[in-house]
Structure 1
Amino acid sequence: WRRMAREGKLVLPNLEGITFVSVAVEEPGDALPDVPVAEAGTLDLVKGDVTIRLSAGTPAVRIAEIAAAL
């Protein structure tokens, strides 16, 4: 998007009449309990007709790398 903006090719939506609203942030509640891997099962990453099934124990960093590659 940066290259497109520099080249004047970035198409922006019509923002007339759009306003910003306030956001309220609540205090965090109790933490969710840890889910054992045996109960968690699998995770499916789906994009179009491609499905990648990963173990629930797959590190978040690896899941992010795979999602970015899709």
Structure 2
Amino acid sequence: MCAKNSFLTSLGVEIYATGHRRWPDEVKARVVADTLEPGATVNAVADRYGVQPNQLSAWRRMAKQGKLVLPAIAPGEPVFAPLVVCDPSPAVRSCDGCPADERITIIIDEVRLELAADTPAVRLAEIVRALGAAGC
């Protein structure tokens, strides 16, 4: 247990003689971020840091509510960009500057969907939402 205490102290966790610990928000955020790694489980991460899984789940709820700010994603890792959809005016080029006769292509994993450039924004949003619900 001495090694784990030394490890936690190196992260900035204050450990009192009674056994209580004071976890700085930055350390909580780092632990929560570890649970979001592919293949990670709350139980495994909780065990690694010596915290109860229910406490770690509470920290995850705090992060979802915006009460705990997670560390930024390291440069070079993929990030998600917001999808912006708008309807082009009849005599105007489409939103991305492409001619209106070009196609809109949506690719999610192995699903490739090509639509006319004048497809209404509402329909595009419905399609993207349906693909997301289907787990694509």
Q: TM-score, normalised by structure 1?
A: 0.50
Q: Which has the higher helix share?
A: 2
Give 1 or 2 for the bigger CA radius of gyration: 2
Q: Which has the higher strand share?
A: 1
Q: TM-score, normalised by structure 2?
A: 0.28
